[in-house]
Amino acid sequence: MKNILLIGAGKSTSSLIKYLRDKSEQEDLHITIVDKNLDLAEKIAKDHPRFSLQNVNIFNDEDRNNLIEKADIVISMLPARFHMQVANDCVRLGKHMVTASYISKELQAMNDEIVKKGLVFMNEIGLDPGIDHMSAMRVIDQIKEQGGKMLLFESFTGGLVAPESDDNLWHYKFTWNPRNVVVAGQGGAAQFLHAGKFKYIPYNKLFRRTEFLEVDGYGRFEGYPNRDSLSYQSIYGLEDVKTLYRGTMRRVGFSRAWNVFVQLGMTDDTYTIEDSENMTNRDFVNAYLPYSPTDSVELKLRQYLRIDQDDELWLKLEELDLFNGEKKIGIKNATPAQMLQKILEDKWTLKPDDKDMIVMYHKFGYELNGEHKQIDSQLVVKGDDQTYTAMAKTVGLPLAISVIKILNGEIKTPGVQLPITKEVYNPILKELEDYGIVFNEKEVEFQCYNPNFVAG
Amino acid sequence: MKNILLIGAGKSTSSLIKYLRDKSEQEDLHITIVDKNLDLAEKIAKDHPRFSLQNVNIFNDEDRNNLIEKADIVISMLPARFHMQVANDCVRLGKHMVTASYISKELQAMNDEIVKKGLVFMNEIGLDPGIDHMSAMRVIDQIKEQGGKMLLFESFTGGLVAPESDDNLWHYKFTWNPRNVVVAGQGGAAQFLHAGKFKYIPYNKLFRRTEFLEVDGYGRFEGYPNRDSLSYQSIYGLEDVKTLYRGTMRRVGFSRAWNVFVQLGMTDDTYTIEDSENMTNRDFVNAYLPYSPTDSVELKLRQYLRIDQDDELWLKLEELDLFNGEKKIGIKNATPAQMLQKILEDKWTLKPDDKDMIVMYHKFGYELNGEHKQIDSQLVVKGDDQTYTAMAKTVGLPLAISVIKILNGEIKTPGVQLPITKEVYNPILKELEDYGIVFNEKEVEFQCYNPNFVAG
């Protein structure tokens, strides 16, 4: 029997737990799940003979040690900052480990010891990071094997609401941590490569530098740049690439309207607002507008940000009840970002029957036999319901599949790993197809930046 | 004989040193000046019998201790972060101390000990902070003594170029640390009170929320908000005030043009630009603009920030050589702020015969006998030359005067002090008048926010 320890059983682990349950007989698994809140785990695996659900404080060294000692492999779904406590135990006790988080410097520093003990520490094997790495590397490796030279790589991911549940003007609902959405893009300029030039975008312009993306059968989306595109250059072996850009996908019009909050200053999470508890939505907006004894908040905002009165963007703001002078925000000592989050959560929370949707879009530009070519690769995954969301499937399934393949010795290269080698991505991407996670890859014309250029 | 130790003899100490020299016989002073660079001190006080100029490493504990031991009072003109080493010695050895810097928490924490030893630690006694405190508190105290109730306090200061030396379209030259000018306003939203409401302005809007200010004989200026207005509420005893605003003065049009750099992202000091050394001014601008194989940097910038081609702002940008594709910036691993500073220094450095100018403007709104009243107080100080600049005079003279008055026992309240009491501001403001530092105070109509309002 192979023992799996899953630490953390939050919303994103439903598909992970279900996969392990469905494979438990065939693979002879025993799964121990540890969390303070076991509601989701109970829903999927309660009384199942191959599961043991435990409410244990994982930060107690002795309890954690005892649990890890009994396992063959440990899946840490804790917030990234807590992984190292688990990782230290796993190395000491000689256990494999899997996470969906970015590799930290501390973890990378343990690589030699992990290799020496023959352990596989697989990381960044969820959706983004995870499926993005695997699906990108599969195409990049194919292009290089044919003798192609990579020129361009762009990659976009979005966690959105499915079209059938899309009933607001922003075409957006929270399908993941709302706080991350509110503060997205803060903390430094976005940096990327475009046609051989380094480009920099400050936060205040981030949501005005979008590009359009057409997804077959789903229409038009937009992408705004992530902060960290350049770090992928060495990981993906794209040292000679001229364009390297990673971004976040939204429905068209989202970013332009979101920019209103950025320009006003409402996404700031670094200071608290005086008397936030008693402020209405309208007071909150007015705190960012010049004083006037006569002009309305609406007029001041339109003038300040030069918004035409018949601009559709305005309807998006109204839909959020942004100018409501009765509705109190009701949070003490709140930061602007926390106040904005509250306003958005009142409108952007998924309803019980709503489905979410994951969209991913890669563009691979390359040169082969003197010709410029391009492959576009698209993925759309919809949630089944509010338990088996698209987010839970795309994060949990690659994790779960990798766990079985590590236990079976199919994935065996020891050390601190990323899913960027064939040994890892080929079998996982293949099995993901059984779950409807299928990339649509097609050749398109090489992305030309000025197709309609007429000089003079 | 009274012994004064001056630590640090940079550009802003010329008037301070000259004042002490001129008073040295009459007051029976001996002044020791310590710095790595004594050029300025030598120019003013070399071979003067009452001066001793020493090139000593002040960070050597023994040397510093020996110097402070011999002094009756110590003036620290070191960068603020180094004051505590000096302050600790002064407390231990029982010496008075004077600085032009803001009071740090560490220093405030030593207050009891300083009081117990009967020492005067005078701080914030330069220009801003310094003359601003004194001139504001004199009027505020007068208004309160008459039975007035303070309603409004606004205060603006600017370090500018004198009109006779003003020969560029920005009407600005560097008269102080250029780096502080480039990064001004960063690090958090500006917060202030306006008509009873807390208002917040993020950095990306700071230079678009200016107000106009008329200075008698000098025409129109503009002010943009400082970050820290609210902290003055308790210091000045303005708890009931409805409007509280502190700002920085520039000539009209500066802020609107400066906003171009803010919007592009060129004032960021938190990351370095790839290959900064070999970039031209034009390359630097282009790094913040979208890629285009055909459009010029100029056209892209105009479109991006919606600048009309006949906007005067554009001439300001051209005057800086911003689009020069030959001129290399030539600094390795530079941040955007460092690169921008280099471009500005090429244009905004004072010429040998140029004079600088300090402008300060306070507005005091109050209620007296049921009437709304207002006093406006203005100060303009011009530099004599490049040694005795307006900045050196306004920073150095209040410092120097306070040193003599502490030695004479005229300023005697012990503890960590600010120049906000009559004991301090009355004699100092009076003596400053002998040096042309004179506030022009006048009654004006109470600042009405909608004088021309017509309903409907």
Q: CA nearest B287 in A: which residue? A: A199
- Report pLDDT digits (tens) over B86-95: 999 999 999 9
Number of A to B CB contacts under 8 A, please give it.
107
| Position B447 pLDDT exceeds 90 | no
**Per-residue pLDDT at A337:** 98
Angle, in degrees to the nearest 10, between helices A422-433 and A390-407 = 130
Q: Mean pLDDT throughout B355-369?
A: 97
**Per-residue pLDDT at B452:** 55
CB B38 within 8 A of CB B32: no
pTM, to two decimals: 0.91
d(CA B36, CA A30): 72
Q: Mean pLDDT throughout B358-367?
A: 97
User: How far off is chain B from A219, nearest CA to CA, in Å?
Assistant: 25
CA–CA–CA angle A87, A90, A91 (5° rounding): 90
Q: Which of A188, A275, A449 sits opposite B293 (nearest CB)?
A: A449
CA–CA–CA angle A175, A180, A182 (5° rounding): 95
Q: Is B273 close to A188, i.e. CB distance below 8 A?
A: no
SS3 for B50?
Answer: coil
Q: Which of A199, A265, A290 sits opposite B189 (nearest CB)?
A: A265
| Position B456 pLDDT exceeds 70 | no
Tell me, what amino acid is at B447? Q
d(CA A338, CA A197): 37
Structure tokens, B389? 């600049």
Whether the CB of A195 is below 8 Å from some CB of chain B: the reply is yes
φ, ψ of residue B45 to 5 degrees: the values are -130, 15
Q: Is A202 close to B293, i.e. CB distance below 8 A?
A: no
CB burial of A258-296 (b: ≥16 within 10 Å; e: otherwise) equals bbbbbbbbbbbbeeebeebeebbbbbbbbbbbbbbeebe
Tell me, what amino acid is at B268? D
Task: Name every chain B residue with its beta carbon within 8 A of the beta carbon of A270.
Answer: 188
Whether the CB of B147 is below 8 Å from some CB of chain A: the reply is no
Which range among A45-59, A299-313, B251-265, B438-452 shows the weakest confidence by mean pLDDT? B438-452
d(CA B441, CA B438): 9
Tell me how far the alpha carbon of residue A178 is from its chain's centroid: 12
Task: Name every chain B residue with its beta carbon within 8 A of the beta carbon of A455.
Answer: 294
Structure tokens, A61? 């060294």
For every residue of B167-222, DSSP letters joined together read -STT---B-S-HHHHHTTT-SS-EEEEETTEEEEE-HHHHTTS-EEEEETTTEEEE
| Among candidate residues B23, B25, B29, B21, the one with its CA nearest the CA of residue B3 | B29
Tell me how far the alpha carbon of residue B154 is from its chain's centroid: 16
**Per-residue pLDDT at B228:** 83
274-333 in chain A: CB under 8 A from chain B: 274-275, 286-294
Mean pLDDT in consecutive groups of 10 residues from the start of chain A, 456 residues: 96 96 97 96 95 95 96 96 96 97 96 98 97 98 97 96 97 94 94 94 96 96 92 92 95 98 98 96 97 93 95 97 97 98 97 96 96 97 96 98 97 97 98 98 82 53
**Per-residue pLDDT at A448:** 65
CB A424 within 8 A of CB A411: yes
**Per-residue pLDDT at A456:** 56
| Among candidate residues B254, B248, B238, the one with its CA nearest the CA of residue B201 | B248
Q: Which of B201, B263, B287 sits opposite A199 (nearest CB)?
A: B287
**Per-residue pLDDT at A72:** 98
| Position B157 pLDDT exceeds 70 | yes
Whether the CB of B213 is below 8 Å from some CB of chain A: the reply is no
**Per-residue pLDDT at A330:** 96
Whether the CB of A268 is below 8 Å from some CB of chain B: the reply is yes
DSSP annotation of A6 reads E
Per-residue pLDDT band for B436 (boundaries 50, 70, 90) equals: very high
**With pLDDT > 70 as the criterion, what percentage of chain B qualifies?**
98
**Per-residue pLDDT at B454:** 55
Q: Is A449 close to B264, i.e. CB distance below 8 A?
A: no
CB A38 within 8 A of CB A11: no
Task: Name every chain A residue with its beta carbon within 8 A of the beta carbon of B291.
Answer: 194-195, 197, 199, 449
**Per-residue pLDDT at A309:** 87
Whether the CB of A212 is below 8 Å from some CB of chain B: the reply is no
Q: Is B199 close to A268, i.e. CB distance below 8 A?
A: no
Best interface-test mutation with B: which of A203, A204, A278, A449 has the largest number of B CBs within 10 A? Answer: A204
Tell me, what amino acid is at B38? L
Can you tell me which residue has the tokens 């494999």? A96
User: How far off is chain A from B49, nearest CA to CA, in Å?
Assistant: 54
